Amino acid sequence: MRYEIPSPMLAKAAASVPDPTKTPGGLLFEPKWDGFRGLIAWDGETVEIGSRGAKPLTRYFPELVEAIPRLLPGPCLLDGEIVVATGAPGAQRLDWEALSQRIHPAASRVAKLSEETPAMFIAFDLLAEGDEDLRETPFSERRARLEKRLSGVDHPLHITRTTRDRDAAVRWLSEFEGAGLDGVVAKPLDQPYAPGKRTLVKVKHARTADVVALGYRIHKSGSGVGSLLVGLYDADGTLRQVGGVAAWSDKRRQELVDELAPLVERDDLGEAVKGEGERSRFSGAKDVSFVRLRPELVLEVRYDQLEGSRFRHTVQFERWRHDREARSCTYEQLETVAGYDLADVIG
């Protein structure tokens, strides 16, 4: 028996925790863990860990590969989140930076970090058990079987907590942030598992988006990265520039030049390829050219609102997303803002 790892089920952003009474079949609320989405396949002989972006993560988490056969009672396919916690006992919190360091080409470095900052797996769905494919069964049944499957399983495997109480979920949204979690997820109880579909609802503390680095402009001082241009894929698969990230420190601007160098597009003579940035009525004769990058690097940014198909203001860098594929960065992930009559605002 060998499991095929599917694309994970996804979520759309919402501004507030939804009302379960307005969803046929009801909702189950879960904390939103801040880690790498992971699908773990244990077929009784080998362990494979897939990611949201279809990148294999197996080699980066040897401590999980070792623990899974020892702890699980039998073959299964789990969906969940890989996280790393740091801090003193009683004051631990999720540590995204420590987790990101695990994506390293050197096996020796990965082995060292697996001992210094070991990862945990927080399971929240069961997609297969033995020879039985559970993806067409309702989530309520999959959750019940997950609880039975992981009953008594020890660290580093855990099962996420849940509630059907919206008031409790609202409290989680604010309280759990202190532990490094970044929101709440609402899951319809009567729905099957839908790979790649945004049928879940996520509520986060702020608007964020995963975007693709398209290029950078040199700082006005003539040295270092002044701003990083970012883009999103539209419904037709076209990568569109949506804004820029700036406000780097002097030191960071210089470091970014070296870090981005492997991604710079070059011509046949080895020279960096320049792109022409979008002009506005405010740019005038300003040089808007930029150094083009191969669209491979993903970063998460914070933004306030969209204006048309672009971010309204300069966005703020949040973190690199080495676990994400560039093609997965689409407009679909963005929060849809409900329309509101300006006359009602003016009053």
Q: Could you say which of 12, 22, 32, 197 is catalytic? A: 32
Q: Which amino acid is at 94?
A: L
Q: Is 56 buried (19+), middle (13-18) or exposed (0-12) by CB count in 10 A? A: exposed
Residue 28: which residues within 8 A CB-CB, separation 6 or more? Answer: 139, 140, 143, 162, 163, 164, 186, 187, 189
Q: What is residue 325's predicted lDDT score, i.e. its pLDDT? A: 93
Q: Is 97 buried (19+), middle (13-18) or exposed (0-12) by CB count in 10 A? A: exposed
Is 55 tagged catalytic? no
Q: Residues 272, 276, 278, 283: is their CA dihedral positive or negative?
A: positive
- 14-57 confidence digits (pLDDT tens): 889 999 999 999 999 999 998 999 999 999 999 999 998 778 99
Q: What is residue 281's predicted lDDT score, i.e. its pLDDT? A: 33
Of 133, 132, 102, 105, the closest CA to residue 115 belongs to: 102
C-alpha span between 13 and 184 (Å, rounded): 10
Q: What is residue 175's predicted lDDT score, i.e. its pLDDT? A: 84
DSSP for residue 58: G
Q: How many CA atoms lie within 13 A of 259 on its CB side?
A: 13
Pairing of strands 316-320, 132-133: unpaired
Q: What is residue 286's predicted lDDT score, i.e. its pLDDT? A: 56
The reported pTM is 0.73
C-alpha span between 131 and 128 (Å, rounded): 7
Q: What is residue 278's predicted lDDT score, i.e. its pLDDT? A: 56
C-alpha span between 193 and 8 (Å, rounded): 9
Per-residue pLDDT of the chain (347 residues; tens, 9 = 90+): 789 999 999 999 888 999 999 999 999 999 999 899 999 999 999 999 999 877 899 999 999 999 999 999 999 999 999 999 988 887 788 888 899 999 999 999 999 999 999 999 999 999 999 999 999 999 999 999 999 999 999 999 999 999 999 999 998 988 888 888 888 999 999 999 999 999 999 998 778 899 999 999 999 888 899 999 999 999 999 999 999 998 888 899 999 999 999 999 998 888 888 887 654 433 444 556 899 999 999 999 998 777 778 987 788 999 999 999 999 999 999 877 555 432 343 33
Do residues 225 and 253 touch, judged by C-beta distance below 8 A? yes
Structural domains in the chain?
A: 10-204 (3.30.470.30), 208-333 (2.40.50.140)
Do residues 290 and 277 touch, judged by C-beta distance below 8 A? yes
Q: Which amino acid is at 285?
A: A
